[in-house]
Amino acid sequence: MLPKSHRLDAEGHKRLAQAGKRYFSDNLVLKVADSKENYNIFSVVVSKKIEKKAVLRNSARRRIYAIIRNFYKEISGSGIYIVSTKKPIKDIMYADLKKEIDFLFKKAKI
């Protein structure tokens, strides 16, 4: 898990919902906006529409945060990023999920 200072709060979600660019892949959506901070801020959203049980939502969130943590040092600049799921990801292998997140980051030129 990323440190709390590098995670987005509820107010940040509202600001980013109105502004920012979106990048899509098969299972994920990446929302990107500029940040005034000197570091990157991330958030992972798994909707109740996607996963009904909190255990599965939290598990999906932890998997995505773990992948982001691996990419964190390679990301240049500063920004606000929200990764949200479009489909359940419990059956997706870790390597495939990592490739998909890498694809989104490259598409967004992060």
**What is the model's pLDDT at position 39?**
76
Q: What angle do CA 15, 99, 86 make, to 5 degrees?
A: 45
Can you tell me whether residue 108 is helix, strand or coil? coil
Q: Each residue's pLDDT tens digit in the chain (110 positions)?
A: 677 777 777 777 776 767 778 999 999 999 888 877 777 888 898 999 999 999 999 999 999 999 998 888 788 777 888 899 999 988 899 999 999 999 999 998 88
CA distance 72 to 88: 24
Residues 66 and 95: beta-carbon distance below 8 Å: no
Can you tell me whether residue 98 is helix, strand or coil? helix
Residue 66, domain extent = 4-107
**What is the model's pLDDT at position 51?**
92
In the chain, how many domains are there?
1
CB atoms near residue 99 (< 10 Å): 13
Element (H, E) at 85: strand 79-85
pTM summary value: 0.83
CATH number reported for the structural domain that contains residue 30 in this entry = 3.30.230.10
Nearest 5°: phi and psi at 89? -110, 10
What is the DSSP-derived secondary structure letter of residue 74? G
